[in-house]
Amino acid sequence: MSKVVKFGGSSLASAEQFQKVGKIIRAEADRRFVVPSAPGKRFGDDIKVTDMLYGCYDLAEAGKDFKAELQAIKARYDEIIAGLKLKLSLDEEFVIIEKNFKEKAGSNYAASRGEYLNGIIMANYLGFEFIDSATVIFFDENGEFDADKTDKVLSERLKGLKNAVVPGFYGSLPDGKVKTFSRGGSDITGSIVAKAVKADVYENWTDASGVLIADPRIIDNPQGIEVITYRELRELSYMGFSVFHEDAISPVRKAGIPINIRNTNASEEPGTWIVGSTCQKSKYVITGIAGKKGFCSVNIEKDMMNSEIGFGRRVLQAFEENGISFEHVPSGIDTMTVFVHQDEFMHKEQKVVSALNRLVKPDTIDIEADLALIAVVGRGMKATRGTAARIFSALAHNDINVKMIDQGSSELNIIIGVANEDFEQAIKAIYDIFVLTKI
Ligand code: ASP
């Protein structure tokens, strides 16, 4: 049995956190491959090392002095090394980093040093082999992750190794330059490593006890989710769940490796399992609620629209021509509405309107701004009657006007459009009816 264990920045922010992590890894011999993030925040308004590196590199690129900033970063690592009583010095590494910053090695290189250095410390602390991710994780000439090459080289490199530390967040381009994934990308590295070693489980250790049913900034102390499918999580991540990087799902999903989200600060808790499929019913009819503000609806009306072949295609063409992706397209007999991201649409609004006039000659075009979309997701909805009715009566009782309803054909989700100002209240009402009162 083998497990890949990825630890987030707050799990590795200080020597004390490293000790907790060391205990977790040593508790199970199966925890063989470790993917660390860079040191995160130790307290509320602390700064993550990744952000310090970006800031420091900005100075270097502008030709300004960055000695003090680089020294402050080194101090974060030295504090961890001293706290763990390791015989390790990063002095030489920092000489190289300083030189590369002066030679403008790029902000991707700069940011990647956070994970790289933490990986060196982790490997030293655990007595595991250190593998520089630039030598095993690859991007192509367009900067896209090269899954085939990576899988080949990485699985070969890890084959036969009992243990290893592979730092998260970065890899290299064909010309050897370091490139990072998007922010939070160590999750992706963990997933890639899990696939390469055909792990039995990918454990993702963070500072929350798994995935929560709803956003804790909206719901006080929301309950955790025990088991969630990849598809459910994908729907929720798309709508704003941020426990786990969206792009990290695909590699393990393809390989059928379950993900277990765990809490470094409460390691006894089972956390959340993210799986391909399960016979386990979720505790409630719904698995989770997520949402986003900032959408516009473009409502196109035309008499006899329903009999005009190609009408829908031409409507969407007006958006495509302007490089705008759409979210939802609910339609009536003589109306079709297109939901788009407000910030993407705003500057191109009149261009889209004139394209619509040219392509479909509508009777009217009505635009409404400041809308929010809420996704109510759950594999349990398919087998339960009255889910939609419960959602809408909860919203009606809270005086919330529903602007749009869209149920996916898989019956995995119901998407609801409301005014931005009703967003929080709507989520509370839905959480209340399914989780708290359970009626
Ligand atoms: N350290 C990087 C960030 O702050 C990557 C990660 O932690 O996953 O985004």
Task: State which H helix or E strand residue 98 sits in.
Answer: helix 91-102
Place of tokens 């993900």: 259
112 lines ligand 1 (CB under 6 A): no
List the structure tokens of 418: 């409301």
Write out pLDDT tens, residues 9-30.
Answer: 999 999 999 999 999 999 999 9
Q: State which of 11, 49, 115 you would mutate to test the pocket of ligand 1, scoring each by most atoms of that ligand within 8 A of its C-beta.
A: 115
Q: Biggest alpha carbon distance in the chain? A: 79
Q: Please answer whether residues 312 and 325 qualify as being in contact, where contact means their C-beta atoms are separated by less than 8 angstroms.
A: no
119 lines ligand 1 (CB under 6 A): no
Q: What's the CA-to-centroid distance between 177 and ligand 1, angstroms?
A: 19
- What proportions of the chain, in percent to the nearest 5, are helix, strand and coil? 45, 20, 35
List the structure tokens of 400: 């919330």
pLDDT computed for residue 313 by the predictor: 95
Which amino acid belongs to residue 222? P
Place of tokens 């002066």: 102
Give the Cβ contact number of residue 33 at 10 Å.
25
pLDDT computed for residue 240 by the predictor: 80
Interatomic CA distance for residues 209 and 101, integer angstroms: 38
pLDDT computed for residue 438 by the predictor: 66
State the 10-residue block means of pLDDT for the chain, 439 residues long: 96 98 98 98 96 98 97 98 98 98 97 98 98 98 97 96 98 97 97 97 93 92 92 86 84 94 95 89 88 96 89 96 93 92 96 96 96 93 86 94 84 92 97 85
Q: What's the CA-to-centroid distance between 38 and ligand 1, angstroms?
A: 6
Q: State which of 169, 244, 261 you would mutate to test the pocket of ligand 1, scoring each by most atoms of that ligand within 8 A of its C-beta.
A: 169
pLDDT computed for residue 439 by the predictor: 56
Interatomic CA distance for residues 409 and 57, integer angstroms: 48
DSSP per-residue codes, 228-260: EEHHHHHHHHHTT--SS-GGGHHHHHHHT--EE
251 lines ligand 1 (CB under 6 A): no
Q: What's the CA-to-centroid distance between 133 and ligand 1, angstroms?
A: 14
List the structure tokens of 291: 């949402």
Q: What's the CA-to-centroid distance between 184 and ligand 1, angstroms?
A: 4
167 lines ligand 1 (CB under 6 A): no
50 lines ligand 1 (CB under 6 A): yes
pLDDT computed for residue 179 by the predictor: 98
Coil/strand/helix, residue 115: helix
